[in-house]
Amino acid sequence: MHEQPAREWSLARLAGIAGMSRSVFAGNFRDIVGCTAGAYLQGWRIRLAQQALRQGKRLKMIAIEVGYGSEAALSRAFKAQCGVTPRAWRQSLAAD
């Protein structure tokens, strides 16, 4: 997940890599990490997007790099996670 955030990471794929059933993997992941694998992946992608925004990258490129199918999909996920749109978040950096 960390090395290839843009890859489609399904629970089945992650469980297969770990050599576990989906249910065992999901339970273990949640117990150890404290959230679902999907929530963790979304958080990781948003952190990567924040880094890219700090570097001045365009939202369209960021969406592709971190695994969202469109700018709109990234914007929705970003706002759900951060409470503001990527544009507003970037503008707040400039204001500081």
In this structure, what token pair is assigned to residue 57?
């990258």
Predicted local confidence at residue 47, as pLDDT: 98
- Domain 11-95, what architecture? Orthogonal Bundle (1.10)
Burial grade of 66 (CB within 10 A; 0-12, 13-18, 19 or more): buried
What percent of the chain is predicted at pLDDT more than 90? 96
Is pLDDT at 96 greater than 90 in this prediction? no
> What integer is the mean pLDDT of 4-28?
97
> What integer is the mean pLDDT of 27-38?
98
Query: Dihedral of the CA atoms 25, 83, 66, 9 (nearest 10)?
Result: 20
Sorted by where each begins, the domain ranges of the chain are 11-95
Rounded distance, CA 89 to CA 77, Å?
A: 13
> What integer is the mean pLDDT of 25-32?
98
What percent of the chain is predicted at pLDDT more than 70? 99
pTM of the model: 0.91
Is pLDDT at 83 greater than 80 in this prediction? yes
Predicted local confidence at residue 38, as pLDDT: 96
8 A C-beta contact, residue 66 and residue 49: yes
Predicted local confidence at residue 94, as pLDDT: 82
